[in-house]
Amino acid sequence: MERYRTPDWSSILLPTVNHAEKSVIREMFQRLRSGDIISFAGGMPDVSMFPYREIEAATDQIFSDHSHRVTAFNYGPTEGYMPLRQWIVGHMRSLGLILEPDNILITSGGQQALDLACRSMLRPRDSVIVAQPTYLGALQILRTYGARIVSVATDENGPLPKEFEAALCENVKFVYLVSDFSNPTGLSISSERRQLLIELARLKGIPIVDDAAYQQLRYAGDNISPMISIDQRITCDNDREPLENGGVIHIGTFSKTMMPGLRVGWMAAPKPYLNKLIPLKQATDLHSSLLNQMITYNVIKEIFDDHVAALCKAYGEKRDCMISAMHDNIPSQVEFTTPEGGMFVWVTLPKGSDAIKLLDLSMKQAKVAFIPGAPFYANAEDGMRYCRFSFSGVSNEEIFEGIKRLGELLTDVLSGSRRGEN
């Protein structure tokens, strides 16, 4: 019996897998399962807003047509369900972008689109530029590929151009940005800054991967064209085919505008890139679920604009509640963003604060959860004094109550009476 060896997984697995840790968000959710805690932690949708009736009707429509249900349950094309790809082309035309279905790959959520982008381009020790802070899921993915993460500091208009330009000099394979209502800060890159960043990247021929997950969720301010539309406008030759020679890879998703559980997202990209990516998507999982693509298509073609408008109204009110509650309850030493859309408010504690310790206290005493800022930073220590609050998945009442309790705790902590405990 002894002569049989159990595989030594720690030596068999790649170092990037071995070092994979449970994410803070995963641990947070595990803690949330127990106890009566108001959670601003996950970037969760308001489940009461899911278009259940329309999903049911859309599904019935598929089941009642034999050719549709065969399509839904059989193997299908790797590129995705053609009517959905065509709908996305029309949708993106309304955002100022000219493309064709061949520029669209359907993915299992935006997450998979980002993962495929990384997988197609990254070798261990390749560099990727990100804004600081950035989506922690992106940092996780980049780490699984062993990428060197180059963080560029941001102001209220996005990554700082001088730092961005300097970062482009290194061994950079691509730039990753969340240009609209960023996760975690809730802030967007301004139109002028987008143009400047695209121009700088294009001078070096470095592609930009724009994660536009929150692009549709605007509650205030003026629309800003997606990076990919601006790229097409300023750099593409009109004589060429649409998106033949673009430099931006756009990631879209229905997780924020419809429902995340169906895992339907997309990538819009230049054809020379996408044609290479499709065999990689095929190797990964053959194709994304046809049933889910068809349900999504049947729902969005009927209600997309109206549903997004209803979401923006509801989420906009939640945002107003949170901002107002923070104004009323949070001590003045604590700063917070006022996002024009998305799901998040970004809170800055006084210098020297430790948001992870605050979270621990908050879970126990205020019974309020949020995500500490550290995991949104390539270097966790840079993010110790920040917190991300999500308002999308909670009720207005929970927002008022939770922020009130947190405000009391913060007042208490910052008045110094508890400083010693930290």
Q: Closest separation between CB of residue 275 and a copy of itself, Å?
A: 9
Q: Closest separation between CB of residue 284 and a copy of itself, Å?
A: 5
DSSP state of 213: T
Q: Is 125 in the site for a copy of itself (CB under 8 A)?
A: no
What type of residue is 47? V
Question: What is the residue whose two structure tokens read 């400047």?
Answer: 196
Answer for which of 106, 150, 152, 173 binds a copy of itself (CB under 8 A) is: 173
Judged by CB under 8 A, the chain residues 227 through 246 that form the site for a copy of itself are: 234-235, 237, 245-246
CA dihedral 187, 192, 197, 203 (to 10 degrees): 170
Q: Closest separation between CB of residue 273 and a copy of itself, Å?
A: 5
Q: Closest separation between CB of residue 3 and a copy of itself, Å?
A: 6
Q: Is 130 in the site for a copy of itself (CB under 8 A)?
A: no
SS3 of residue 352 by DSSP: coil
Judged by CB under 8 A, the chain residues 241 through 270 that form the site for a copy of itself are: 245-247, 255, 259-263, 270
Residue 75 vs 416, nearer CB to a copy of itself: 75
Q: How many residues bind a copy of itself (CB under 8 A)?
A: 91
The burial class, CB within 10 Å (0-12 / 13-18 / 19+), for 164 is buried
Residue 184 vs 407, nearer CB to a copy of itself: 184
Q: Closest separation between CB of residue 245 and a copy of itself, Å?
A: 4
Q: Is 284 in the site for a copy of itself (CB under 8 A)?
A: yes
Residue 121 vs 167, nearer CB to a copy of itself: 121
SS3 helix, strand, coil % of the chain, rounded to 5?
50, 15, 35
Judged by CB under 8 A, the chain residues 333 through 362 that form the site for a copy of itself are: none
The burial class, CB within 10 Å (0-12 / 13-18 / 19+), for 11 is exposed
179-208 footprint of a copy of itself as x/- string (CB under 8 A): --------------------x--xxxxxx-
Q: Strand 172-177 to strand 158-159: parallel, antiparallel, or no bridges (unpaired)?
A: unpaired
Q: Is 133 in the site for a copy of itself (CB under 8 A)?
A: no
Tell me how far apart the alpha carbons of residues 229 and 340 are, in angstroms, rounded to a whole number. Answer: 20
Question: What is the residue whose two structure tokens read 């390539």?
Answer: 378
Judged by CB under 8 A, the chain residues 41 through 100 that form the site for a copy of itself are: 42, 44-45, 47, 50, 52, 55-56, 59, 63, 69-76, 78
Q: Is 309 in the site for a copy of itself (CB under 8 A)?
A: no
CA dihedral 165, 166, 171, 177 (to 10 degrees): -50
CB 269 within 8 Å of CB 79: no
Beta strands in 147-226 (DSSP E): 148-155, 158-159, 172-177, 208-211
Tell me how far apart the alpha carbons of residues 204 and 421 are, in angstroms, rounded to a whole number. Answer: 51
Q: Which stretch binds a copy of itself (CB under 8 A): 85-93, 138-146, 317-325, 363-371?
A: 138-146
